[in-house]
Structure 1
Amino acid sequence: MARQELARFLRDRRTALRPEALGLPASGPRRTPGLRREEVAGLAHMSVDYYVRLEQARGPRPSHTILDALAGALRLTSAERRHLFRLAGTSAPPPATGAVRHVRPHVARMLQRLPETGAIVTDASYGVIAWNPLAQALLGGGLGHGTTNLARRRFLGEGRMYESSSTEEFGHIVVARLRRAADRYPHDPQLAALLTELHAGSEEFRLLWETRPVHAPGHRAKTVEHPTAGSLRLNCDVLLVPEDDQEVVMITADPGTPSARTLRTLATRV
């Protein structure tokens, strides 16, 4: 592994990127041109400390998953991606041709061990590919058909979309993730068809797409108006399945609150 050369390559590519081109705020003083280290780390879904160590030639050999995440965050071309892997002392696997649309058995089993937590797994194009009973009670019976796509729900009104305090923010989250997916899987026909459908059917989606939003998974709190359970104050936490480019969304309520009691009641009915 060529640590010094890898560090220099990462610094060069980071400083060559324009924040506004990635949907990041360009305001405020910047000591150097390009992106900040914490911005690259956020785009690559890794800790800032880990990325800093790579740029300082102090880090361990990064895994294929980390290298692919860095290639996406730094918007590397195919040739640059191969060079990045060579500097890390490994050969670059071919880029994935399409989003992984099946869930690993251990992830599916984890969902079933969370009786008072709603949990779903989404693929890179926001298709819901796994869920547990409480999630179905919270998000609507359409999940049971296995064809739910949260991007279609949000922008095209397909299926049940409850009123939520985070509806506007979720639109930005959806577009940011779909843009990442389009960069990673340019030859995925299902993703291409989805993007064509969203562009044709939603002016809001078209306008957001042009802003190139960037959003990192994490914790979100929101209020959801459920048609039978009423107003629920919920926490949404996202766990990554990086090897498959999937996200596990965990839906909970603060202990001891009316929303927690309502979730417990919903869980006994499913």
Structure 2
Amino acid sequence: MERSPRTELAAFLRSRRRQVDPSGLGVPVSGQRRTPGLRREEVALLSGVSHTWYTWLEQGRDIRPSRQVVDAVARTLQLSPAEHQYVLRLAGYAAAAPAEPGRAQVPAHAQRLLDALGDSPAYVITRSWSIVAWNAAYARFYPGVATAPAADRNLLWVVFTDPYVRELLGDWTTDSRRFLTQFRAEVGARLHDADVVDLLARLQQASAHFRAGWASHDVDSFSSSERRFEHPAVGTLLLEHHQLTLADSPDLQLVVYTATAGSDSAARLARLSAG
């Protein structure tokens, strides 16, 4: 079902309200509560807004909260920095994303940059995580990228549906969850876009793990760190995962996996390149 930023904001606030420990905020807890977490009127009181106004937020009403209200609610619900940024975007306090580009719109110099990365697997994704360009090292790392139908050449789709990727990721349960929470943080304000609606509908149908993870409303931000992969040809690879925005194409992200110079993983990537 198509969701607007307003309805996603409502669902997200409800999910996070239920996770807050009232006693940690000095809210007296007496008697038996029917549901866990804070009550709506408690969130409103602690945030300095009216009960009716906050109720409208959780009902997805056509209202526009001020940034100060969003910040106050975020503090009351004890949101993480990534979650706080997420609700700000959902409430309209972020620049609108450019239109989703197709493969033909990837600048030629971006492909040259990919190719210059040598043994380091690298690819370019759009804001909806469609994979629109890659280098030869990535095609060896994940051969399916070159043969997948264009509609299925999406990072989140392959993580949850491709058995090869499931085996490639060192800890699929943790890694897939990480991808999902980062994706949600990035597209939350664009859940009504046709390409996002289509991708989510297909994933909801294709993967029970995705359905469960998406229902949690968890979000997180990207951070460069070491990832473990189990490649069928060269074995264990410990690679740093980087994501960069192209300055002249801010709607595109360059994703690169690099190995420490002189490491066993670097030698294995070189063997993979040599065939």
Report if TM-score (shorter chain) is over 0.5: yes
How big is the shift at 1:261?
0.8
Partner SS for 2:157:
helix
Of the candidates 133, 139, 154, which is equivalent to residue 149 of structure 1? 154
Deviations 1:19-68 (A, max 9, x none): 76xxxxx4xxxxxxxx47xx1xx569xxxxxxxxxxxxxxxxxxxxxxxx
How big is the shift at 1:209?
0.7
1:74 is matched with which residue?
88
* AA matched with 1:209: W
Partner SS for 2:133:
strand
Tell me, in whole angstroms, the C-alpha distance in 2 between the residues paired with 1:123 and 1:97: 10
Give the direction of change, closer, same or farther, for the CA distance of 1:189–1:11 in structure 2 (3 Å limit). closer
Question: May I ask how many residue pairs the two structures share in their alignment?
Answer: 205
Deviations 1:123-173 (A, max 9, x none): 222221111000111112433557322222222236654332242232223
Of the candidates 249, 252, 257, which is equivalent to residue 263 of structure 2? 257
Tell me, in whole angstroms, the C-alpha distance in 2 between the residues paired with 1:268 and 1:138: 12
How big is the shift at 1:120?
0.9
2:100 is matched with which residue?
99
CA contact 1:128–1:146 (8 Å) conserved in 2? no
Tell me, in whole angstroms, the C-alpha distance in 2 between the residues paired with 1:256 and 1:175: 33
Tell me, in whole angstroms, the C-alpha distance in 1 between the residues paired with 2:76 and 2:164: 36
Of the candidates 192, 195, 214, which is equivalent to residue 190 of structure 1? 195
Give the direction of change, closer, same or farther, for the CA distance of 1:97–1:259 in structure 2 (3 Å limit). closer
1:63 is matched with which residue?
none
Of the candidates 124, 134, 141, which is equivalent to residue 121 of structure 1? 124
Give the direction of change, closer, same or farther, for the CA distance of 1:145–1:206 in structure 2 (3 Å limit). closer
| Aligned-residue RMSD, C-alpha | 3.1
* AA matched with 1:256: G
2:111 is matched with which residue?
108
How big is the shift at 1:175?
2.0
The answer as to 2:241 corresponding to 1:233 is: no
2:180 is matched with which residue?
175
CA contact 2:185–2:220 (8 Å) conserved in 1? no
Give the direction of change, closer, same or farther, for the CA distance of 1:191–1:249 in structure 2 (3 Å limit). same
2:137 is matched with which residue?
134
Identity, % of aligned positions: 24
Unpaired segments of 5 or more residues in structure 2?
1-65
Deviations 1:58-88 (A, max 9, x none): xxxxxxxxxxxx6x5514535xx4xx8xxxx
* AA matched with 1:112: D
CA contact 2:228–2:236 (8 Å) conserved in 1? yes
1:218 is matched with which residue?
223
TM-score, normalised with respect to structure 1: 0.64
TM-score, normalised with respect to structure 2: 0.63
2:71 is matched with which residue?
14
Deviation >6 Å, runs of 4+: none
CA contact 2:234–2:271 (8 Å) conserved in 1? no
Give the direction of change, closer, same or farther, for the CA distance of 1:166–1:158 in structure 2 (3 Å limit). closer
Tell me, in whole angstroms, the C-alpha distance in 1 between the residues paired with 2:231 and 2:90: 43
* AA matched with 1:16: V
CA contact 1:176–1:214 (8 Å) conserved in 2? yes
Tell me, in whole angstroms, the C-alpha distance in 1 between the residues paired with 2:253 and 2:240: 15
Tell me, in whole angstroms, the C-alpha distance in 2 between the residues paired with 1:175 and 1:125: 12
Tell me, in whole angstroms, the C-alpha distance in 1 between the residues paired with 2:76 and 2:177: 17
How big is the shift at 1:114?
0.7
